[in-house]
Amino acid sequence: MKKILLGFIPLLILIASCVATPTTSTRATGVDELDTTIREASDELNIDVPAGNYIGIINIQSSSAALSEYIIDELIRNAVRDRNFTVVDRQRLDQIRQEHDFQYSGEVDDNLAVDIGRIIGLQTIVTGSVSPLGSRYRITIRALNVQTGAVQAQFNKNIGTGETIVALMAMGGSVTQTASAGNAGQASTSTTSGGTTQAAAPSQTQTTAQTTAPSQTQTPAQAVAIANGTYTFWPRPRAHVAGVDVDTYLDRIVVRGGYLTIYLTGSDKGGFQILSGYGNRWMTYRAIIQCLDNPRLSWQPVNSSNDLREHFLSFQGVTTKRFSLTNPVDPPVIFDEINLDDAHYEP
């Protein structure tokens, strides 16, 4: 009997070693943690960012455009599947990116990222970075409140160099430009060994001497004094939602004592008319005036009314005559362009 039991011991050891082999093999090849980490970051956003917010994944700073865009795409995909937020369309972000000369993988400081969020009418922006950490990578994802700039969520994790990261890094697309709130699209200076200061255009404009920065960063709008009085339009500007016109019209604008007050109506003929549909949500959300000549300038209402006598939004210190008006509901209600120079003016 003892001989039989002793005979089983080598067999049990062999079986145990065979069972352990797959786990050891998996660890040896390295579990790809990138997708898992992105999923964990999405879960963190779901917990800390208010449900229903209109959000945009602005950029992920890294040395590979392919890696940055992969992470952005996965974060968007997760958000769409989770249905916890409304995510800005990627094409809209591409348009803003071109206008402000930043790459999804480039360095974008918080001020510029928040400005971009205001332009689109977002409530929350998401940024992040992928930084080398020895043989590993440090993944950082965070969300900022567009109105206050406060951090709503922060996710950090160190991960191994998995197959996906290796493949994306090999695809190239390294970052050759950076942008910030104060220098996007502007020339920088460098000092030579002899002490001579030379101007260097940003990397995206080095290919030709004739290429210039976008007009909004070359000649930002100057502050203007808007004359007190009443401004009316014909035809009256009409708002749209997702490209479809809605029955919300700009009745008139009154400027008085440093305040610009926008009166809204539900009729294209003007006068008071109760707003309906998306229109009646103007007063329950924080609308945004965005300067169209210098998109870095924006204003929020300091007063509003949505009673049965009038609908208005009042802004203080507006210094532009040409602007858009956006209500960041889901989806946004937008007046594309309001130009006081095109209005009938009565002192």
User: What is the per-residue DSSP string for 219-261?
Assistant: SPPPP--PPSEEEE-SSPPEEEETTEEEEEEEEEEEEETTEEE
Q: What angle (nearest 5°) sits at the alpha carbon of residue 317, between those of residues 313 and 323? A: 65
CB under 8 Å, gap of 24 or more: what pairs does 146-149 form? 146/114, 146/117, 146/118, 146/122, 147/123, 147/286, 147/300, 149/110, 149/114
Query: Does pLDDT of 2 surpass 80?
Result: no
Q: Tell me, what amino acid is at 223?
A: A
Confidence band for 340, pLDDT divided at 50, 70 and 90? very high
Q: Cα-Cα-Cα-Cα dihedral of 87, 88, 94, 99, to 10°?
A: -140
Residue 340 CA to residue 329 CA, distance in Å, equals 25
Judged by average pLDDT, the poorest of 100-109, 248-257, 269-278, 287-296 is: 100-109
At 313-328, the pLDDT tens digits run 898 889 899 999 988 7
Cβ-proximal residues to 343 (8 Å cutoff; 6+ apart), any chain: 231, 232, 233, 253
Query: Does pLDDT of 11 surpass 50?
Result: no
Q: What local confidence, expressed as pLDDT, does residue 21 receive?
A: 41
Strands 298-299 and 303-306: unpaired
Token pair 């910030």: residue = 180
Residue 152 CA to residue 149 CA, distance in Å, equals 9
- Global pTM value: 0.45
Q: What local confidence, expressed as pLDDT, does residue 102 receive?
A: 62
Residue 160 CA to residue 169 CA, distance in Å, equals 14
Cα distances from 121 to residues 55, 117, 170, 189, in angstroms, run: 9, 6, 36, 34
Confidence band for 34, pLDDT divided at 50, 70 and 90? very high
Q: What local confidence, expressed as pLDDT, does residue 124 receive?
A: 93
Contact by Cβ (8 Å): 65, 177: no
Contact by Cβ (8 Å): 180, 100: no
Confidence band for 104, pLDDT divided at 50, 70 and 90? low
Query: Does pLDDT of 49 surpass 50?
Result: yes
309: phi then psi, degrees, rounded to nearest 5: -110, -35
- The mean per-residue pLDDT over the stretch 193-209 comes to 38
Residue 6 CA to residue 78 CA, distance in Å, equals 55
Q: Tell me, what amino acid is at 111?
A: N
Residue 79 CA to residue 77 CA, distance in Å, equals 5
Specify the CATH superfamily of domain 34-170: ABC-type transport auxiliary lipoprotein component (3.40.50.10610)
Q: What local confidence, expressed as pLDDT, does residue 178 receive?
A: 31
Give the closest residue to 106 by CA, choosing from 177, 2, 40, 18. 177
Cβ-proximal residues to 73 (8 Å cutoff; 6+ apart), any chain: none
Residues of the chain above pLDDT 90, percent: 28
Domain positions in the chain are: 34-170, 229-346
